[in-house]
Amino acid sequence: MDLVLTQIFNGLQYGLLIFLAASGLTLVLGIMGVINLSHGSFYMLGAYLSLTLTSLTGDIFLSLALGIPIAFLFGAAIEWLFIRHLYARDHLQQVLLTFGLILVFNELQRMIWGTFPHSVPIPSYLSGSVKIFGLMSYPVYRIAVAGLCILLALAMMFVIQRTKIGRMIRAGESNREMVEVLGIDTRLLFRFVFAAGVSLAAAGGIIAAPIESVYPGIGESVLITSLVVVVIGGIGSVRGAFVGALLIGLADAFGKVYLPQFASVVVYALMAAVLVTRPGGLFGRA
């Protein structure tokens, strides 16, 4: 019982982190029609920003406050330099260009931060564990991470549901051509969506750093898992990405305990099962 509960918590917390990365990926795909394989690199960027900023400022939450704007500007620059050339291209070329970006980002990471794994300290006021339901003890920082993810998710939901730019995003998600015809400046909208997606992924990387440690290639497993989440949830659906991310988180957590050799196989098998039964994803328009 203890183990099951711990794994439920671990799974939900991992799922929430993945959701931060997957939400940007699904929006970029749904609204701009771009498959961005370099999205995992932004998670990596966050992890390394966390490493550098925390050693400078001494606190993970100051790193988060500084890191999100840095990631936003970085994302806007990448969109302007590379991604905007892909809107009129086919999937094959999007896959290629963003694959090239991964090579570049990985090498830049190696040049700046080197290849050794690093760890980021958990702030002292959040170290230790608490008893939950009187049954199990669970690290406080992990609970804080889950709480932060939920806050960020709520903030995103607010922007999408209640603001003008959110209305444009929703319109873009349901009919991309129509938004362009309606006279909305799609160049700015796309740049904002892309940069916001980058910020969310980086935020995930920043707060996960004290749990996971920081190492080269940290973004790639996140990318693949996020892509699986997007497929399960349905392209462009933030709600789908949320449900998909939690499903994947739980499948991964329980897979690791009960089928240790096949944990990642469980994740892919789940995706194959969803696709065969609902080819457009759980919340997608098939």
Partner 1 sequence: MLQRPRPFIVILLIALLVAALLVPFVGSSYAIKFTTRVLVLAIFVISLDFLIGITGLVSFGHAMFFGLGAYSLYFISPQAEAANAIIAFPAAMLAAGAAAAIIGAFCVLTRGFYFIMVTLAFGQMLFSLFYTSRIAGGSDGAYINVKPEVTLFGVTILDFENRFAFYYFCLGALVAVYLLMLVLARTPFGRVLQAIRWNEERVGALGFNTYAHKLLSFVFAGAVAGFAGVLYATIDGYVAPDLFGWRQSGIAIMMVVLGGAGTLFGPILGALLYSAIEEVLKTGSWVGPIANHWSLGLGLILIAAVLAWPRGIAGLFETRARRARPERDQPSGDPQEERPQRGKALAVEGLTRAFGGLVAVNGVSLKLAPNLVHGIIGPNGAGKTTFVNLLSGASKPTAGRIRLDDEEIAGRTPYAIARRGLGRSYQRTNIFLPFTVRENCLIAAHARHPSPFRLRLGKFAREEAKEIAHALAATGLSTRAEAVASHLSHGEQRQLEIAMLLASGAKLLILDEPLGGMGAEETSRVIALLRKLSVNHTVVLIEHDMDAIFAAADTLTVLVEGKLLAHGKPDDIRRDRAVREAYLGRWGQEIVR
Complex with partner 1: residue 125 or 262, whichever CB lies closer: 262
Which residue's CB is nearer to partner 1, number 140 or number 263?
263
CA–CA separation, 262 and 248 (whole Å): 14
Minimum distance, C-beta of residue 57 to partner 1, in the bound complex (Å):
29
CB of 73 or CB of 108, closer to partner 1: 108
* Torsion angle of the four alpha carbons 270, 276, 281, 282, in this order, in degrees rounded to the nearest 10: -70
- Nearest approach, Cβ of residue 18 and partner 1 (Å): 15
Closest listed residue to residue 28, CA positions, set 83, 95, 69, 92: 83
Nearer to partner 1, 158 or 262 (CB): 262
- Measured from the CB atom, is 1 or 276 closer to partner 1? 276
CB of 15 to partner 1, least distance (A): 18
38 Cβ contact partners less than 8 Å away, ≥ 6 residues apart: 78, 98, 99, 101, 102, 105
CB 85, min distance to partner 1, A: 6
Q: Which DSSP string do the residues of 50-75 spell out, in sequence order?
A: HHHHHHHHS-HHHHHHHHHHHHHHHH
Min separation Cβ 224 and partner 1, Å = 6
- Token pair in block for residue 129: 């564990």
**17 closest CA partner among 225, 264, 236:** 225
Fill in the amino acid letter for 13.
Q
Q: Find, among 201, 214, 223, 35, the residue nearest to 109 by Cα.
A: 214
State the residues that interact with partner 1 by CB under 8 A.
29, 35, 37, 82, 85, 89, 91-93, 95-97, 99-104, 106-108, 110-111, 224, 227-228, 230-231, 235, 260-265, 268-269, 271-272, 275-276, 279-280
- What does the DSSP 8-state code read for residue 237? -
Structure-token match 């550098």, residue found: 52
CB 24 within 8 A of CB 198: yes
The least CB distance from residue 92 to partner 1, in Å, is: 5
Q: Rounded to the nearest whole angstrom, what is the least distance from the CB of residue 265 to partner 1 in the complex?
A: 5
- Of residues 91 and 187, the one with the C-beta less far from partner 1: 91
Helix H or strand E segment including 186:
helix 186-212
Which lies closer to partner 1 via its Cβ, residue 68 or residue 230?
A: 230
Q: Tell me how far, at minimum, the Cβ of 253 lies from partner 1, in Å.
A: 16
Q: What are 163's two structure tokens?
A: 């603001």
Q: Is 131 left (phi over 0), alpha (psi -120 to 50) or beta?
A: beta
Task: Return the axis-axis angle of helices 2-27 and 238-258, rounded to nearest 10°.
Answer: 140
**6 vs 106 by CB, closer to partner 1:** 106
